[in-house]
Chain A
């Protein structure tokens, strides 16, 4: 089922990715087909197998609340890009919604160690909860409107944008800063490793893919009521045309091999957008590089689009799987594709899996084509699925 979000527009984007600060930095690296995946150096990882990840270096070095700090940096860029002074927004109609999977986990690790040793807790212990990065952002901006954290595992970032658009459409907010933030930790890497879900290299949709590679990052988008944006003469980058969400209701960690939940979420988003499948030009897929996810996604996209579907790309060979941030980063990629008519290649994809043959996968070089409608899909543990449809302004 679907959510109509026709009056919500995107007026600014901000990113901190493993390539560094800024949307332009990310976009340049994606178009060049670079990968930020390398051995982990940010925390002790010698006993983690595999120990590859896409880390952010040199951006946040002295803030224990890494997830919150990354979100703040991305928010500043998004607001600057939107030419929006947060103090000029009615605080009661200014909201924040942020997706995260394990935001404060490094502080949690430090607290656990301190508690076990009987030593004093870390100074930032109050920033452990998953809602803490959104609170930090909302306090920094002086928001008095709705503030929430979406918790849909790896679909959290996409769900955050959907919620923000809904708040704008329902008239509850004029402006919502929406996106996701997640950071790497031993907790996380050891966890995905013990599930045997990881690999040294991410190869989305490749026949030789072995698993995902984790990453970290933050991405924020200024989601604004179209009339509010027009009144202040803002440059509209894209419109959130529709959003959808659906549960697999099949398995807690494995995706529905028939792609049921993902297909329902996509169909709901398209219905909400009043967009027919043939009108979609580009899909930013979840594309983790795990055998099951990519096969599931091919089935789901095939169900929706048939054999002559849109161009499909995954970001995760370049920046890894950034979990709660992934959907937000991918939304930014969609905004860039809408603006430039360029679709980046899927890094790591060399030999497309015959099981994914239904997909028109972009690989090797960027593809130039007009993009009027883009779809971003996300799926996660516990059978969570979310999709958003973005359109050119």
Chain B
């Protein structure tokens, strides 16, 4: 049974001067991760015709964001100052911005979102996990529209930590943010919203050991679950958006074959051009698929992180939403 969730707006992080004034004002004072979320989230809401910057919070609108490393850069700035000056020099402004959900909070305040505000981390699969969680909330009636997005801020402290053995993405880290607005199809049609695509199925999984003989089984299970939810056979897929870092590419192919075979000949790999955009990667994958799919085609978007987090999402062109 397909989810019946459509995409009515999408955006990547944009230039600050392209943002509405209330959002630009908040972004100017916010830390980097929140700036990225504000840019992408407000842009997606505007594209969906749901932008609103004043009035009481709208309880039927929510936000679900995914981020691998949250406010790592802000944490580093706060910690360095604390280490140098002691507690007397600790910055309340920086500390208040060290929570990873600051980005969702800023977006909720700026765009008057009073429904669920959830921030998730699932490593570099965070963005696609966020999309899946948003569809689950919509399916349960927890909101009538949800901004689902992903983002990670990349800078020297994060890159230094990664070099020190913290995280090997297999590709250069890159900063990005992307968001979509998801709504139940009936609601979107009812309000005459632009439908740019659909999320027909989504599931996430985990790989406890990439070296084990069973490696790939978690991803295969997620792919099977997403396809089953979408009511789509693997053979019906027009394309696959690949996401695995180079050392795991073979396992990704193996998992896809195990999930149903009949792999589509077309594949996209945005990370080859963009680098490892971490929390943004899955949502950028959705946007890449929508850009490449014909109106009636379906595609499979994957997210794979060396941490073990994996996710799969079946997206469709605007005429294959049902």
Contacts and interface: CB of A to CB of B under 8 A. Distances in A.
Interface stretch (A68-76, A110-118, A204-212): A110-118
Interface in B156-195: 160-161, 164-167
Give the dominant DSSP class at B's interface: mixed
B139 A247 contact: no
A249 B205 contact: no
Interface string A357-393: 0000000000000000000000011111000000000
A228 interface: no
B205 A382 contact: no
A125 interface: yes
Contacts of A192: 95
B131 interface: no
A91 interface: yes
A147 B57 contact: no
Contact of A252 (B90, B91, B106): B106
B16 interface: no
B79 A150 contact: no
Contacts of B117: 152, 245-247, 382-384
A264 B129 CA distance: 25
Given A109-B79, A251-B109, A149 B136 contact: no
A275 B270 CA distance: 47
Interface stretch (A53-61, A135-143, A312-320, A342-350): A135-143
A191 B95 contact: yes
A306 interface: no
Contacts of B133: 148, 163
B274 to A, nearest CB: 21
B4 interface: no
Given A247-B116, A249-B113, A268-B142, A131 B309 contact: yes
Which of A91, A196, A253, A383 is packed against the most chain B CB atoms within 10 Å?
A383
A1 B142 contact: yes
Given A151-B100, A383-B108, A144 B217 contact: yes
Interface residues of A, number: 80
Interface stretch (B59-67, B232-240, B242-250, B280-288): B59-67
Interface residues of B, number: 78
Interface in A201-249: 244-249
Given A247-B115, A249-B113, A144 B218 contact: yes
A92 B218 contact: yes
Contacts of B78: 187, 191
Nearest to B89: A194
28 contacts: A1-B115, A1-B137, A102-B98, A108-B75, A116-B83, A121-B166, A125-B166, A126-B166, A129-B69, A138-B308, A142-B208, A143-B206, A144-B205, A144-B208, A144-B217, A146-B129, A147-B206, A151-B67, A153-B101, A190-B95, A244-B116, A247-B62, A247-B104, A249-B109, A260-B114, A382-B105, A382-B106, A383-B105
Interface of B: 57, 59-60, 62-63, 67-70, 72, 75-76, 78-80, 82-83, 86-88, 90-92, 95-102, 104-106, 108-109, 112-123, 129, 133, 136-137, 139-144, 160-161, 164-167, 203-209, 217-218, 221, 225, 307-309
Q: Which 7 A-B pairs have the closest CB atoms?
A: A382-B105, A191-B95, A247-B117, A92-B221, A144-B218, A249-B57, A247-B108
